[in-house]
């Protein structure tokens, strides 16, 4: 494709062809957000040439600013570009549907047969790998986010706030955003991220992105469409909520899940690891006490072995909450399935709305340095939150998982080996998780 010209393939993709691709993507999207974004880039930009590099990066940059699963939101964005609102709905839904059913099956096996020696062995191998995965995410995100001394300070304060003071994650994010925004207005040199090496390249392609957006008439901002979309989104949230209240009454498990996971979906800056830190803090302690910290670790391990966004771990949390606390008149399995589906629905509903409402206006946000600086403060706070998650998981697996509070040397060694395999040798996370499960099984019987 020549620079400055739109590829004709970008607007000649049939809906049926796109449908087949989105369905395929739902089954092969392993590797977490980075892996899923890489798959979409390779398939859509390099191989199929459905859209240009500039368009893809433009969409990705917007999704990275949003709370929630950025890879799934990117699929919604591209589906919307290609085939309007229906295309976005199909792309986003098929991105998660396979993982919904696969994780439901794994959750049931875990809940029903989790005390079988073979299952215990596999989970004993999964858990140390999960600790390594979180530590690797901490290192990678920290390198990208901590660009100024003030960012290190924000990360440290965020860690102290959540680890020692138990301040809720949303308040930490809000506080970091306010501090960074004020800092950008008063002392921008202190808070401004260093220039990105790719900034000049992005500026060189800006005209191409804007030109293409104008040629796609459905991408133009429209106030009437914005209001209608917002109204539909509110209705889609209110009706199931009202139905749950009418079915089970206020204050029941499903109503509490509906409210709690709606909030978590709106504050999940930093991806699945950050939101899991927030969720783990809330659901394993007062007032909820829905699951145990060990079950939270196990859920992340299971989510790592399935396709789809890593934030699907919240479906496992919703399932186990229903299983551990069955609603009156329901079996643990039925209660768990409903809890899982309630959680998944409210987790992903905002992602569709963020794209359909904000994408037409995103060009107005490009180049806003104050906004970029404020978001860098949020990202720095997320690093502190993920450090908390690494310590909580590490303690649960390496110390609490051993006898009399001593160190579980098998778990410690496997965590170190898994980290080196992921970070140094760049082995795909799925193979590392499966390898850890195999080693845990062998250790259990040998």
Per-residue pLDDT band at 123 (split at 50, 70, 90):
confident
- In the chain, what are the domain boundaries? 9-445
Q: Is the pLDDT of residue 373 over 70?
A: yes
Would you tell me the crossing angle of helices 223-248 and 332-358 to the nearest 10 degrees? 170
Q: How confident is the model at residue 400 (pLDDT cuts 50, 70, 90)?
A: low
- Give, in degrees to the nearest 5, the angle at Cα 111 between 105 and 115: 125
Confidence at residue 9, expressed as pLDDT on a 0 to 100 scale:
39
d(CA 443, CA 399): 18
Whether the predicted pLDDT of 422 surpasses 70? yes
List pLDDT tens digits, range 10-21: 446 789 999 999
Position 195 scores a pLDDT of: 64
Sign of CA dihedral 107, 108, 112, 113: negative
Buried residues in 400-430 as b, exposed as e (16+ CB within 10 A): ebeeeeeebebbbebbebbbebbeeeeeebb
Neighbours of 86 (CB within 10 A): 11
Whole-model pTM: value is 0.72
Residue 8: what pLDDT?
A: 39
Position with higher pLDDT, 267 vs 77: 77
Q: What integer is the mean pLDDT of 312-334?
A: 92
Euclidean distance between CA atoms 416 and 400, whole angstroms = 18
Q: What is the pLDDT of residue 314?
A: 92
pLDDT of 193 strictly over 70: no
Rounded to whole angstroms, the Cα distance separating 381 from 154 reads 6
Element containing residue 380 per DSSP (H, E): helix 369-394
């Amino acid at each position: 494709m020549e620079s400055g010209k739109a590829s004709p393939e970008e607007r000649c993709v049939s809906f049926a062809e796109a449908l087949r691709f989105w369905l395929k993507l739902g089954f092969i999207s392993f590797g977490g957000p980075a892996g899923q974004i890489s798959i979409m880039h390779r398939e859509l930009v390099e191989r199929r040439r459905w859209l240009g590099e500039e368009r893809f990066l433009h969409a990705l940059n917007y999704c990275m600013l949003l709370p929630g699963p950025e890879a799934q939101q990117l699929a919604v964005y591209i589906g919307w570009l290609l085939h309007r609102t229906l295309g976005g709905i199909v792309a986003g839904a098929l991105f998660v549907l396979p993982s919904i059913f696969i994780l439901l099956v794994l959750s049931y096996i875990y809940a029903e047969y989790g005390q079988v020696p073979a299952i215990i062995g596999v989970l004993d191998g999964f858990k140390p790998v999960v600790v390594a995965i979180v530590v690797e995410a901490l290192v990678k995100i920290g390198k990208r986010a901590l660009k100024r001394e003030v960012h290190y300070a924000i990360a440290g304060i965020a860690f102290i706030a959540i680890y020692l003071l138990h301040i809720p994650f949303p308040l930490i994010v809000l506080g970091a955003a306010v501090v960074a925004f004020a800092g950008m207005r008063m002392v921008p040199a202190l808070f401004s991220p260093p220039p990105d090496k790719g900034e000049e390249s992005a500026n060189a392609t800006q005209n191409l992105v804007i030109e293409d957006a104008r040629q796609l008439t459905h991408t133009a901002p429209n106030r009437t469409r914005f209001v209608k979309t917002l109204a539909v989104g509110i209705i889609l949230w209110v009706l199931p909520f009202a139905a749950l209240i009418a079915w089970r009454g206020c204050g029941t498990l499903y109503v509490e899940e509906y409210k709690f996971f709606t909030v978590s979906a709106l504050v999940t800056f930093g991806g699945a690891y950050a939101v899991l830190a927030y969720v783990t803090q809330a659901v394993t302690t007062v007032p909820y006490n829905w699951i145990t910290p060990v079950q939270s670790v196990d859920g992340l391990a299971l989510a790592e072995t399935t396709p789809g966004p890593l934030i699907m771990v919240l479906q496992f949390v919703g399932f186990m909450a229903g299983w551990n606390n069955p609603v009156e008149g329901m079996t643990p399995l039925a209660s768990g399935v409903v809890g899982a589906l309630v959680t998944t629905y409210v987790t992903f509903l905002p992602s569709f709305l963020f794209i359909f409402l904000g994408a037409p206006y995103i060009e107005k946000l490009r180049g806003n340095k104050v906004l970029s600086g404020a978001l860098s403060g949020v990202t720095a706070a997320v690093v502190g939150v993920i450090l908390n998650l690494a310590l909580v998981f590490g303690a649960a697996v390496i110390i609490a998982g051993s006898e009399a509070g001593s160190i579980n040397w098998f778990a410690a060694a496997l965590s170190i080996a898994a980290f080196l395999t992921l970070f140094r040798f760049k082995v795909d996370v799925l193979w590392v998780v499966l390898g850890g499960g195999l080693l845990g099984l062998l250790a259990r019987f040998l």
